[in-house]
Structure 1
Amino acid sequence: MDKIRVVIADDHAMVREGLKQILELEKDIVVVAQASNGEEAVKLAKEHQPDVVLMDINMPGMNGLQAIKEIKTENIPTKIIVLTIHEDREYLFKTLQMGAEGYVLKDVDSAVLVEAIRSVNKGQSYIQSNMTKELVKEFNRVTINEKGRNPENNLTARELEVLELIAEGLINKEIARRLFISEKTVKNHVSNIFKKLNVSDRTQAAIYAFKHNITN
């Protein structure tokens, strides 16, 4: 089994070592390098081509935001999860705009961080659940003007209802209960929504809903 190769970027050595020990308890994850600042993170991302970089924001010299920008500009084939103390929608929105695939707070349980790593490694987005409301607030704050035909015009009335509930953070079982339909039917609707909106996971679908004012 190929292991998920991770680089940890944080300016505190004890944090890096603690994360390394936690992550390497998992059979499918290995920490290949550690960086103490953004410049080292970029260098190690280029050198090791890891699957995932865990990126702190506040680091001396080149900070995490600058490092994210550099890695994405250089088209380094690695996914980035922001691991931070900042429970702030502006940081969340900014890092997602810059191309980060995940956003997790440092006080999460280790199981959440492991789930985030596995999710982004599969090509999905991962935003810590309690940060979703902050994402909603930020997208509601931003006015988005787009011209032309929007993909959501192809969604049925029921699919739009399901999309709204996805944006609220409901799982399939909860959506089924809310709409008085079977869980299998919800699963089919979700699959159709992903295809029509050209998204690959629930987070991307929710972001689309927020951006296009499909939410209540």
Structure 2
Amino acid sequence: MSTDDIKARPPIRLVLADDHALVRQGLRSLLDLTPDLRVVGEAADGEEAVRRVAELNPDVVLMDVRMPRMTGLEALHALRRTDPSRRVVLLTTFDEDAAIIEALRAGVQGFLLKDVSMEELADAIRRVAAGETLLPPGVAERVARGVAELPRDFPHADLPEGLTRREVEVLRLIARGMSNREIAQALGTAEGTVKNQTSSILSKLGVRDRTRAVLRAMELGCL
């Protein structure tokens, strides 16, 4: 995204939730230095995060996984119950497969470790705000290891006959955490074509977002 593009758009409004005050202050200071991002509220635990989101209606919620009273995962479930379209990015210092799997099942749009760079975090927030689901690189392989333990959210079925070989290829790139633009570059096609293919994939798999498309495809054995 160019500097002119950033200046031309209204800032992305964020609610930041973390039980460590110093972490919140540090993240807020860094995020507020980014022209197109603005922290409009903070919370010290999951319960407060749910209240602040209801009050402020931010574009994106940036939330720690481990918090007192109500964890980030519990808050994610609460937020998704009241607004299934709520955009949430979870942050953690722990590389935990179980937390990632639960967050994906709950429909989280982003999941990042706290050791990401400021540039990576800002890019993740922009992508989630724009409607993308941010799957970290390699997440498909890690989720596949635990997918057999998940309660089935989808009926068992054969691979839909209408899913083309190219759409399966796009699905595999989505599972690697690639954006539509990156997929288009990898496949040598237009970004608009990838968007159309992604919409077709969601429709054929009977799911509402990229995350659940990846989980559904793994259940069907095509990833």
Deviation at residue 187 of structure 1 after TM alignment: 7.5
Q: Find the partner of 1:197 among 198, 202, 213.
A: 202
Is the partner of 2:161 in helix, strand or coil?
A: helix
Q: Percent of aligned positions with the same letter in both sequences?
A: 34
Deviates more, 1:78-87 or 1:133-142: 133-142
Alignment of 1:7 onto 2:12: no
Contact 2:109 2:211 (C-alpha < 8 Å) held by counterparts: no
Is the partner of 2:88 in helix, strand or coil?
A: strand
The AA in structure 1 aligned to 2:128 is V
Deviation at residue 154 of structure 1 after TM alignment: 0.3
Summarize the alignment of residues 4-153 of structure 1 with structure 2, pairs less than 5 Å apart: 4-75=12-83, 78-139=86-147, 142=150, 144=152, 146-147=155-156, 152-153=160-161
Deviation at residue 168 of structure 1 after TM alignment: 5.2
User: CA 1:160/1:69 → structure 2, altered by over 3 Å: closer, same or farther?
Assistant: closer
User: CA 1:153/1:69 → structure 2, altered by over 3 Å: closer, same or farther?
Assistant: same
User: CA 1:41/1:128 → structure 2, altered by over 3 Å: closer, same or farther?
Assistant: same
TM-score between both structures, scaled by the size of structure 1: 0.80
Unaligned runs of 5+ in 1: 177-182
User: CA 1:158/1:173 → structure 2, altered by over 3 Å: closer, same or farther?
Assistant: closer
Aligned equivalents of 1:149 and 1:175: distance in 2? 28
Q: Which residue does 2:4 correspond to in 1? A: none
The AA in structure 1 aligned to 2:118 is S
Deviation at residue 54 of structure 1 after TM alignment: 0.9
Aligned equivalents of 1:76 and 1:202: distance in 2? 14
Deviation at residue 153 of structure 1 after TM alignment: 1.5
Q: How many residues align?
A: 208
User: CA 1:184/1:12 → structure 2, altered by over 3 Å: closer, same or farther?
Assistant: same
Contact 1:194 1:200 (C-alpha < 8 Å) held by counterparts: no
TM-score between both structures, scaled by the size of structure 2: 0.77
Deviation at residue 193 of structure 1 after TM alignment: 4.8
Q: Could you give the per-residue CA deviations for residues 156-210 of structure 1, whole angstroms, max 9, x where no partner exists?
A: 344434544554567547854xxxxxx1289847733532433787656544422
Deviation at residue 52 of structure 1 after TM alignment: 1.0
User: CA 1:141/1:162 → structure 2, altered by over 3 Å: closer, same or farther?
Assistant: same
